[in-house]
Chain A
Amino acid sequence: QKEVEQDPGPLSVPEGAIVSLNCTYSNSAFQYFMWYRQYSRKGPELLMYTYSSGNKEDGRFTAQVDKSSKYISLFIRDSQPSDSATYLCAMRRNSGNTPLVFGKGTRLSVIA
């Protein structure tokens, strides 16, 4: 079993839809959870960052972490064509220089 599992998609939704992206993980030591957006031929952009369990909201984006289920989600409300990108979940253990462990990424297309 991989440490982080993420459905690669592709996921195609109409403009305005609510998008739900998810990752599961196996390492209970993960404490920091992040979501990145990556456009083609660009570096990943940090969208949301959560420590431990709970919810975090920023504009149209909501990140949820359920450590008991080892499950994290990113919701995008009122999706726009400009949201079309690959979304990567990433997580790591405690602070310091521990590397992030990434999911494979989900390719999202928002159709106008």
Chain B
Amino acid sequence: GAVVSQHPSRVICKSGTSVKIECRSLDFQATTMFWYRQFPKKSLMLMATSNEGSKATYEQGVEKDKFLINHASLTLSTLTVTSAHPEDSSFYICSARGGLAGDGQFFGPGTRLTVL
């Protein structure tokens, strides 16, 4: 299947700092990328949908100024958590769809963010 990578896999930061998470589709061009958040033993919560070259569409309740999403190319999307606080600690997972991956949707391995 298609491969999606995420970096970093784990990050610990101080409250008030910003953290950037990268998501890359390694063997296909992702016309659409999705960002999810997952709490322990809970299902995935969609945060936003982004198409290459356009502004992301955020789900209700997700602060767009806090969670900045950039989808600058067909293989790269970034999520920046600005002025992170302890309540932002979570597991963030990106997902990609499109191109040679067909209609399947493929997930990255996730990034565990801990804000102290």
Q: Which residues of A contact B (CB under 8 A)?
A: 32, 34, 36, 41-46, 49, 51, 88, 90, 95-97, 99-100, 102-105
B residues 84-116 touching A (CB-CB < 8 Å): 91, 93, 97, 103-110, 112
Main secondary structure of the interface of B (DSSP, over half): strand
Is B51 engaged at the interface, CB distance under 8 Å to the other chain?
A: yes
Known: A41-B91, A43-B109, A43-B110. A95 touches B103 (CB 8 A): yes
* A88:B1 contact, CB within 8 angstroms: no
Residues on A with C-beta less than 8 A from B108 are 43
Residues on B with C-beta less than 8 A from A45 are 107
Is B43 engaged at the interface, CB distance under 8 Å to the other chain?
A: yes
Q: B32, B93, B97, B103: which contacts A44 (Cβ < 8 A)?
A: B93
Known: A41-B91, A42-B109, A43-B110. A49 touches B103 (CB 8 A): yes
In Å, the complex CA distance between A20 and B44 comes to: 22
* B107:A43 contact, CB within 8 angstroms: yes
Interface centre among A41, A43, A44 (most CB of B within 10 A): A43
Task: Kindly provide the distance from the CB of A61 to the nearest chain B CB, expressed in whole angstroms.
Answer: 13
B residues 21-69 touching A (CB-CB < 8 Å): 31-32, 34, 43-44, 46, 49, 51
Task: Kindly provide the distance from the CB of B46 to the nearest chain A CB, expressed in whole angstroms.
Answer: 5
Residues on A with C-beta less than 8 A from B93 are 43-44
* B46:A41 contact, CB within 8 angstroms: no
* B104:A41 contact, CB within 8 angstroms: no
* A44:B107 contact, CB within 8 angstroms: yes
Residues on A with C-beta less than 8 A from B91 are 41
* A34:B109 contact, CB within 8 angstroms: no
